[in-house]
Amino acid sequence: MVARRTIVAAIICILNCAVEFIDCYRILCICPRASISHQVVFRSFTLALNKRGHEIIFVTSDPMNDPTLKNYTEIDISFLYKSNYITVLDVKDWFGSFYKLSGMANLQTDQILQHPEFRKIYTAGSNENFDMVLLEMLYWPALFVLGKRFDAPVIGLSPMGLTMNVQYVLGNPIMTSHPSNWELYSKSPPLTFWDRLGNFVSFWRFLHYYKNNHVTEQAAIARKYFGEDIPDLEELEKNVSLVFANQQTPISFSRPEVRKIVEIAGFHVSPQSKPLPKDIKKILDGATQGFIYMSLGSNMKSSMLSNETRNELVAAFSKLPYEVLWKFENDVLPDKPKNVHILKWTPQQAVLAHPNLKVFVYQGGLQSTEETVSHGVPVVGIPTWGDQRMQIDKMVSLGVGKKLELRTMNRNEIEEAIRTVASNKRYKDEMVKLSTLLKENSQHLLENAIWWTEQVLRHKGTSHLHSITADDPWYRRQDMDLIVFISVGTTVVLILICYVSHKLLTVIISAWKSPSLDRKKKWK
């Protein structure tokens, strides 16, 4: 009997292993953006897929180099940081900003595709096969040819709210003045008529440049490495199976989305914070009145601030009754006050988890926003570029922080904002409520993303989710041709009515005047 049970258990174990083996797939993931804030989101996702038994080849600028991982290969493209530039971009002129980004994206696409290790994988005759391609979906449409090269479905990954070009190509409603369009987000709503008109013109100007210039340049790069016979890049992008958008509803401006867009978020937020280094812990534990934490993220560094802006921050911090932990990348901070402690690197999530923290002064990055909300820490936001202004305005609208303008803020404004958020209990209470809501919302997002990924793998795509709006020309989107027809038709009809009325009125007046003239002639 025991032997029989042992045999049955062994058979079940073998069957389970067989099933697990059958369900394991080979996945290629490419994340070209050289930014740790982007990479950590996708890294968490690929690690979760690897844990499910899938083999991962990850092209990344921030490899972990963890020898304990099995079936997890990293191709190092960290050299992209050398060609990467970070500047304080003016979102009022997104077209000018994208002109620079386009050149950088083209350069990086070329550098990635010529990487020797990666080239061995995708070159024709390499005998490499993949069941899926995961691709960061921003401004690298040339890389979508990889899906065709391996005859594999493609899932797009977005580390933030979707860019306008991605929304258009997927068939999302074009809402040029909606605050979710962070590229056009220069003013807080409500917008005036002229603001909305400016956004409308800016969007179509950008889209025209993107489709006719950027995509054309990307196609030339694709032909250089994949041959002349490549499919239309817009068609490849349009027919992506899914897009995982890293933008949670509670901390974003909601908008209608096509079914292909799946919400992901919080993948990089650790459920339990690691212990603080002893030197940092000593400072924070000793901050009995509380402390302020300031960081401008991994891209826009505090050391890049102008002397004038840095001096205003230093002066404001010196007046605070709190200790200040400042992520400052230089060895020396001129005129550093006694209550300010500078560090080139900080374990941010562990710092945010410390009970003595009063306020997080930050740039409004999405990953930092998720972290501070998760730990219930109110904020003072100083947006620098990208989607940060939109993100901070959302925090302000939720009553969990205040906003400062980088170029115009002075020491008094900085001090007042920090003191207000730190001392007014309302900001903390609202952030705790938001933290609870966010945790409830994000509880199953990773599992949901894995389920959708494996669904695409099993069915080799999601043609049933394709929006036919994505196939429409621009003038049929949201019935713009009908609106123009009705508007022009109504205008023509009104003009005709006015013309006919004028003619009739002229005839009537003329007829009314004629008998009077006849009578006058008769009396004479």
pLDDT in tens, 421-450: 999 999 999 999 999 999 888 888 999 999
How is 101-145 classified by DSSP, letter by letter?
HHHHHHHHHHHHHT-HHHHHHHSTT-----SEEEEE-SS-GGGGH
Q: List C-alpha distances in Å: 40 to 63, 64, 320, 437.
A: 10, 10, 34, 23
Counting every residue, how long is the chain? 524
pLDDT reported for residue 174 = 87
Whole-structure pTM value: 0.87
Residue 133 has pLDDT above 90, yes or no: yes
Q: What is the pLDDT averaged over residues 157-166?
A: 92
pLDDT reported for residue 521 = 55
Superfamily of chain region 278-441: Glycogen Phosphorylase B; (3.40.50.2000)
Three-state helix/strand/coil letters over 378-394: CEEECCCCCCHHHHHHH
Asked whether this chain's domains 17-268+444-475 and 278-441 adopt the same fold, the reply is: yes
pLDDT in tens, 16-54: 544 444 468 999 999 999 888 889 889 999 999 999 999
Dig out the tokens for 92 from the structure: 């009022």
What's 17-268+444-475's CATH class? alpha beta
Spatial contact of 100 and 424, defined as CB atoms under 8 Å apart: no
Strand duo 154-158 + 132-136: pairing: parallel
232 Cβ contact partners less than 8 Å away, ≥ 6 residues apart: none
pLDDT in tens, 273-303: 789 999 999 999 999 999 999 999 887 788 8
pLDDT in tens, 472-518: 998 898 888 999 999 999 999 999 999 999 999 998 888 887 765 55
Spatial contact of 181 and 252, defined as CB atoms under 8 Å apart: no
CA 436, CA 11: separation in Å to the nearest integer? 46
Burial of residue 127 (number of CB atoms within 10 Å: 0-12, 13-18, 19+): exposed
Each domain of the chain, given as residue ranges in start order, spans 17-268+444-475, 278-441
CA 445, CA 448: separation in Å to the nearest integer? 5
How is 462-499 classified by DSSP, letter by letter?
-GGG--GGGGS-GGGGGGHHHHHHHHHHHHHHHHHHHH
The answer to whether the Cα torsion of 245, 251, 255, 259 is positive or negative is positive
Q: Which of 103-107, 187-191, 200-204 has the lowest mean pLDDT?
A: 187-191
The beta-strand segments (E) located in 223-356 are 242-246, 261-264, 291-295, 323-327, 340-343
Collapsed DSSP state (helix, strand, coil) of residue 282: helix
Percentage of the chain beyond pLDDT 90 is 69
Q: Classify residue 146 by its DSSP letter.
A: H
pLDDT in tens, 167-190: 999 999 988 988 888 888 777 778
